[in-house]
Amino acid sequence: MKFHVMTLFPEMIEQGMNTSITGRAMAKGLLSLDTVNIRDYAGNKHGKVDDYPYGGGAGMVMQAEPVFAAHQAITEKAGHPIRTIYLTPQGETFHQKMAEELAEEEELIFLCGHYEGIDERVLEAVVTDYVSIGDYVLTGGELPAMVMMDTISRLVSGVLNNETSAQSESFQDSLLEYPQYSRPEIWRDKAVPPVLMSGHHANIEKWRREQSILRTALRRPDLLDKAELTEKEKRLLKEQLQAAGKE
């Protein structure tokens, strides 16, 4: 997977992506990162890329031409069109299925805005997808781009050590992940659930699935409608919720 990031703060993206799992995946050549400083395409010696909004109003707007020139430089070098994501609170809210779909692409361009936004005309010319990471407003698109790249990266083959772990975690099957425990067996008088110490794999799998279902019902009941539960699982959940006084 090749990520191109158009930004005024390339060092922020590089620092973030060079850390931990994504950093290792880049060193291994499984991911590559190409940061493009929009300011390098300012077309003036001051590196000015913003101006006042027509019609008045607060703040500054990123001008069309530097963004367009930076985008053209990327696609001309690639020799083919590349899906281009603009990070904006006005976009479709990012979710795991979207990440899975984007992970199928060989290259992606992320366009990070700042100030009060980017001239609409260049957005119309280059953007294929408008994406938000949630209903709150950040100072720029860099953190959202990193959130998306991190989520997509772990779906790229070979990025996680354990091939199955990308599959089995939260949101697969619309269920949250079961609780995890590690040593010591007793920590401040709290014991690890005995089934996990039993070595009985079928029972452990069964317990984990039940915990995933119960946890989803308690913490994210909105997800449960999309999960596929057997009749037996539905009955058990009902009993457990009743026992917990939640039904």
Q: Does 133 bind ligand ADE (CB under 6 A)?
A: yes
Instruction: Give the interface segment with ligand ADE, choosing from 85-93, 101-109, 207-215, 226-234 (CB under 6 A).
Output: 85-93
Task: Identify the residue among 75, 96, 132, 240 touching ligand ADE (CB under 6 A).
Answer: 132
Cβ atoms of 145 and 87 closer than 8 Å: yes
- Backbone torsions φ then ψ of 62, nearest 5 degrees: -70, 130
Instruction: Give the interface segment with ligand ADE, choosing from 34-42, 128-136, 184-192, 236-244 (CB under 6 A).
Output: 128-136
Task: Identify the residue among 134, 179, 184, 193 touching ligand ADE (CB under 6 A).
Answer: 134
- Backbone torsions φ then ψ of 192, nearest 5 degrees: -70, 140
Q: How many residues touch ligand ADE (CB under 6 A)?
A: 11
- Backbone torsions φ then ψ of 14, nearest 5 degrees: -65, -45
Which residue pairs, CB below 8 angstroms and at least 24 apart, start in 90-95? Answer: 90/130, 90/132, 91/129, 91/130, 91/131, 91/132, 92/129, 92/130, 92/131, 92/132, 93/131, 93/132, 93/133, 93/134, 93/135, 94/131, 94/132, 94/133, 94/134, 94/144, 94/147, 94/148, 94/151
Q: Does 136 bind ligand ADE (CB under 6 A)?
A: yes
Cβ 176 to ligand ADE shortest distance, Å: 23
Q: What DSSP designation does 197 have?
A: G
Integer Cα distance of 5 and 113 in angstroms: 11
Task: Identify the residue among 6, 127, 144, 155 touching ligand ADE (CB under 6 A).
Answer: 144
Instruction: Give the interface segment with ligand ADE, choosing from 44-52, 64-72, 130-138, 186-194 (CB under 6 A).
Output: 130-138
Cβ 59 to ligand ADE shortest distance, Å: 13
Instruction: Give the interface segment with ligand ADE, choosing from 15-23, 129-137, 151-159, 182-190 (CB under 6 A).
Output: 129-137
Q: Does 141 bind ligand ADE (CB under 6 A)?
A: yes
Instruction: Give the interface segment with ligand ADE, choosing from 4-12, 53-61, 126-134, 202-210 (CB under 6 A).
Output: 126-134
Cβ atoms of 122 and 64 closer than 8 Å: yes
Q: Does 90 bind ligand ADE (CB under 6 A)?
A: no
Integer Cα distance of 59 and 56 in angstroms: 9
Cβ 219 to ligand ADE shortest distance, Å: 22
Binding site for ligand ADE (CB under 6 A): 87-89, 132-134, 136-138, 141, 144
